[in-house]
Amino acid sequence: MPVVGELVLETAEDTRDWGVRLGRLLRAGDLVLLTGELGAGKTTLTQGIGEGLGVRGPITSPTFVIARVHPSLVGGPELVHVDAYRLGGAEELDDLDLDTAIDAAVTVVEWGEGLAEDLSPDLLSITLSGLSRRSLRLAARGPRWSSSQAREQLAELVSLT
């Protein structure tokens, strides 16, 4: 998957703020996979995405419930927040029926690498590393992200620090 860019986020607040900017670009049907070790900021980033989308919170890690739906407060798409950490494989992800709602929502899947890539032909993959000072790598694939306008928006997003 082509890498759009990389940046360093100095604090958790920077991670959240970057998520807000990303959330403002997202629309119904977008799939975002978040990868990174425990404490790397996946849920913090999702909180920012939710704020950028204008959805009802609070957004917390759905580790034990697997998935949470956050309705829009502004008439936009809802946020489906999935934590695939406890899932045993793609079959268990299929049991969540995410593909039935994917066109109507923005879907963010933590720990989804190797499980959720086939939910949509369009995909943003974000890898976070580090615990306080975080490195972020953004990759994109699919028709949604291949237009010159979308590429420019994503490139601008990773050039912001």
pLDDT 10s digits, 8-60: 999 999 999 999 999 999 999 999 999 999 989 999 999 999 999 999 989 99
Residue 99: is its pLDDT beyond 80? no
> Please, are residues 80 and 108 in contact by the beta-carbon 8 Å criterion?
yes
> Please, are residues 3 and 139 in contact by the beta-carbon 8 Å criterion?
yes
145: number of CA atoms within 13 Å, CB side? 23
| Residues 52-96 pLDDT 10s | 999 998 999 876 667 888 999 999 999 999 887 766 655 655 556
Domain ranges of the chain: 3-159
What is the per-residue pLDDT for 35? 95
* C-alpha separations of 112 from 83, 89, 119, 123, 158 in Å: 8, 10, 10, 12, 22
Beta 134-141 vs 123-129: how paired, if at all? antiparallel
> Please, are residues 52 and 38 in contact by the beta-carbon 8 Å criterion?
no
pTM: 0.91
Catalogue the E-assigned strands of 10-130: 31-35, 67-70, 78-83, 105-110, 123-129
Those residues whose C-beta lies under 8 Å from the C-beta of residue 126, and which sit 6 or more positions away, are 32, 33, 34, 35, 45, 136, 137, 138, 139
Backbone angles phi, psi at 150, to 5 degrees: -65, -40
Q: CA-CA distance, 125 to 128, in Å (whole number)?
A: 10
Q: CA-CA distance, 44 to 61, in Å (whole number)?
A: 9
What is the per-residue pLDDT for 29? 93
Indicate the angle between helix axes 12-25 and 148-159, nearest 10 degrees.
170
**What CATH class has 3-159?**
alpha beta
